[in-house]
Structure formats: structure tokens, C-alpha cells
Chain A
């Protein structure tokens, strides 16, 4: 059993490939998390505009990309768009897909955060002459982020896991590299190794999240 699923010889042969995959997963996360946050910030800021010509398209946008499975979106961008003459590389497709998908999720979380800040806060800021954007940036968002920190972190956890979708468009991230190693060695050990690395990487984040959630519960009680 151990010979099959955790063969040390195979570990020795595959660890370089897998480590390169881990590096790429970290790099990819460092690109797509800020991209998603940026999209989310834009959406949450726009959502505070009351104009129905802004509100309705915005809601449709968010709903659409939350309902659209990210894997389908990614494959559409990578394998569908070329039929329209638009050929994007795997990396560009992953960036766009994450911007659209996780941006919509971050946007909903941040919007809830913005709405949790009492209107008196922005009224006080506006009464001292701060503009709409300054009020958002210096007064509302810092409080909004603090109020929804557990949700933001939880979504970030999902986003890091979702970077494994990059394997579908041949991004050499952790899962893709593990599958490469697996097909080279005809042994599932690389996959087990990748799973263990995902766990070790994300577990501290999960712990932190639990603690934040407990604290939020205690704060409410």
C-alpha cells in the first residue's frame, strides 16, 4: 500500500517537479487574489452609486459571474474564444477568468461590508469636505474590510484552491506538475504529495479563519 501511494523512490524522483509546481501556485495566487480583490473593490464602490443605470447592470454582472462555473468560464476563454479569432494564452485566460469570477464574489462580500458601515460615517466625512471616493477609501472601506474579514479570508482560501483549475489550460502549477510526474512515473505518489502540500499550505489559513470566526461570534454575543 505504502509502496503504491507513498513510494519514497518516486518522491525522490518527482519532488523537483512538484516544488516547481508549488512555486507557480504561489505566484499564481499572488496574481489572481489581488486581481479578484481589485475587481471586487470596483464592484463594491460602484454598488454604492444609487443610479439605477449603474445598479442594474452591476447586479446582472455579479449574478452572472457567480452563477457561471469558473471551470466552464476558463475553458470557454481558452478553447472557445479562438473560434472567434481571439487566442489568449493559458495565463491570460486564468487571469481573466479569476478577475471575473472571484471579483464577483469579493465584490459581494465587500458590498455587504460597505453596507454594514452606518451612513452617519460617510455623512460625517462628506460634511468635512471629503469627496465620494475619498470617503470610500479612508472612512468606509477600512471599516467594511474589518467587518467582513472572515468572509474575505474564506473566499481567499477558495481562490487559492481554485488556482488548480489552471492545470486545465496547461499552467504548470502544483496540480498540473503532479499529474505530469504521475504520468511519467506511473504512480499516484506525486498526487498524494501535491495533496499534502495543499493541506500544509492552507491549513494555517484555515486555523486563522476559525479563530477569526470564533472571535466574531464572541463579539456578537
Chain B
């Protein structure tokens, strides 16, 4: 029952359910992402935001539903998942850089082993990706020698070096010291301006107001309400959305 891709939409998730044993974590989530669009996802802890992102690149296997990314049916057994994942960049809250490699090594590993580039080609692309995140001069540093903000930018470089069609961010700034958040958000804004389609799970409401086309509010495994940043932040319709927005704005 593979759904036909809608022209111009880069991600189409329909009716995603996810069970962890008896726990029903996603309860029929539909999410469309247009080319060049930035969708911002908010919701209380445990509402299923991370699980939803992880279902999109199949780090988590959805229990049912369909996921199309860039016209590829991610859940089809015939799909080469490793090939498809190159088209979907992911950035994690805890960076997850490889500590035994340099920044450049982190960025070039998949270029060499998955995209089949030679070491020289990969190094050139890797340096270019590090330059895009403002870390051209840190190529030879290991993660331990970099600040949290720099590490997260290397992680972004690792993803964009593969030239993905869409980027998924799962709380990219949540484990950063406040003074380092700006540098990462700056890189994300540049990326957005270059036309990258993005899904961002985050608590950075200021970033959402400036950069998001659409804000999605999730609660208890379902999308409760979605709209423009102004709609969701200034005039939420649903009671649960209002309560959540009120709660985070008090902080």
C-alpha cells in the first residue's frame, strides 16, 4: 500500500504507529514536509518526538504506517536502507561524534565507506563541509579537543557532507552551555537559507519564530495542533497546546 509521493514534498509520513511492547508511543502520526520547508516540532517530554524522527530514517522500525523520503519508500524491504539514509541527515542531542577520529575523519567516514569516494575526494568534500560550519581550522582536532558547540557543528558537517535532501535535528542544542547555543543555531539558519528541508525538535522558541515555516505540537504520541509560529505561539486553539506554550514561556 505504498502511497504515491506528492509532488514537491520531500518527506511523507502517514499513519505512523509505534509500540514498544505494551507502550503505544506513536498513535497514527501524519507528517508532510515540503521541499525547502522547516518544520519545528515541540511537545512535552515523552510525547514521542524523538521516536517520530527515528522512524523517518528507520533507526526505529514503525509498527505500521508508511514513510516516503525523496520518493523512496523507506519501509519497503526492497529499499537499500543504507543508500536511502545518505539522503536523510540526522543530528543528535548528544552529538555522537566518533571519539577515536579527528573532525575530518568523522566527516569523511561515510563519504568513503558508503558514498564510495576515494580518500582524496572525501577529504576535499570533508574540508568543504567543515568550512560550511565554520570549522575549517579544526579538521585535525579530535572531539575531545572541541567545545560542545564545535562538536555539534562537526556532527552537522558529517551529515551535510553526504548532501542529504532533508535534515533531522533532535534537540541539537539541549546539551550545550547557553553561550554555545548561538553558534549551532547560526549554522542551522545558514542551512535553512540554502534551501535545506529540515525537521527540528527543539525548545529554542526564538529560533522557531525566526526560521520555522510551521510548528507542530505533539502530545501523547499524536499531533495535537499545527500552524505558523505565530498561530501556535500567540493564538493556540487547543487547550493542551495553550497549557504547554504557557508552561515553556514561563521559563
Contact A130 B100 (CB under 8 A): no
Contact B57 A127 (CB under 8 A): yes
* Cα A124 to Cα B99 with chains together (Å): 12
Interface size class of B (residues with CB under 8 A): 20 to 34
What mask results when residues 143 to 154 of chain A are scored 1 for a CB within 8 Å of chain B, else 0? 100100000000
* Cα A185 to Cα B100 with chains together (Å): 55
Q: Does A120 contact B (CB under 8 A)?
A: yes
What residue in chain B is nearest A120 (Cβ atoms)? B96
Give the total number of A-B pairs whose CB atoms are below 8 A apart.
65
Given the complex, which residues of A lie within 8 Å of B113, measured CB to CB?
A: 130, 134, 138
Q: Does A142 contact B (CB under 8 A)?
A: yes
Contact B96 A126 (CB under 8 A): no
Contact B86 A128 (CB under 8 A): yes
Most chain A CB inside 10 Å of its own CB: which residue of B94, B98, B159? B98
Asked, given contacts A129-B86, A131-B82, whether A124 binds B96 with beta carbons under 8 Å apart, the answer is yes
Asked, given contacts A128-B158, A129-B85, whether A121 binds B110 with beta carbons under 8 Å apart, the answer is no
Given the complex, which residues of B lie within 8 Å of A121, measured CB to CB?
A: 96, 98
* Cα A134 to Cα B98 with chains together (Å): 14
Contact A138 B96 (CB under 8 A): no
Contact A129 B83 (CB under 8 A): yes
From A124, A129, A143, give the contact of B100 (CB < 8 A).
A143
Chain B residues numbered 83-132 whose CB sits less than 8 Å from any CB in chain A: 83-86, 88-90, 92, 94, 96-100, 109-110, 113-115
Q: Does B243 contact A (CB under 8 A)?
A: no
Q: Does A123 contact B (CB under 8 A)?
A: yes
Question: Shortest CB–CB separation between residue B87 and chain A, in angstroms?
Answer: 9
Contact A139 B98 (CB under 8 A): yes
What mask results when residues 155 to 195 of chain B are scored 1 for a CB within 8 Å of chain A, else 0? 10011001000000000000000000000000000000000
What residue in chain B is nearest A142 (Cβ atoms)? B100
Given the complex, which residues of B lie within 8 Å of A139, measured CB to CB?
A: 98, 109
Contact B92 A124 (CB under 8 A): yes
Q: Does B7 contact A (CB under 8 A)?
A: no
Contact A143 B99 (CB under 8 A): yes
Q: Does B59 contact A (CB under 8 A)?
A: yes
Contact A120 B100 (CB under 8 A): no
Contact A130 B109 (CB under 8 A): yes
* Cα A142 to Cα B99 with chains together (Å): 10
What residue in chain B is nearest A131 (Cβ atoms)? B82
Given the complex, which residues of B lie within 8 Å of A125, measured CB to CB?
A: 98, 109-110
Contact B94 A129 (CB under 8 A): no
What residue in chain B is nearest A124 (Cβ atoms)? B96
Asked, given contacts A120-B94, A123-B92, whether A128 binds B100 with beta carbons under 8 Å apart, the answer is no
From A118, A128, A143, give the contact of B162 (CB < 8 A).
A128
Question: Shortest CB–CB separation between residue B126 and chain A, in angstroms?
Answer: 12
* Cα A128 to Cα B89 with chains together (Å): 7
5 contacts between A and B (CB under 8 A): A128-B109, A129-B86, A129-B115, A139-B98, A143-B98
**Contacts A125-B98, A127-B89 known; 4 new A-B pairs at CB < 8 A:** A127-B57, A129-B115, A138-B109, A143-B98
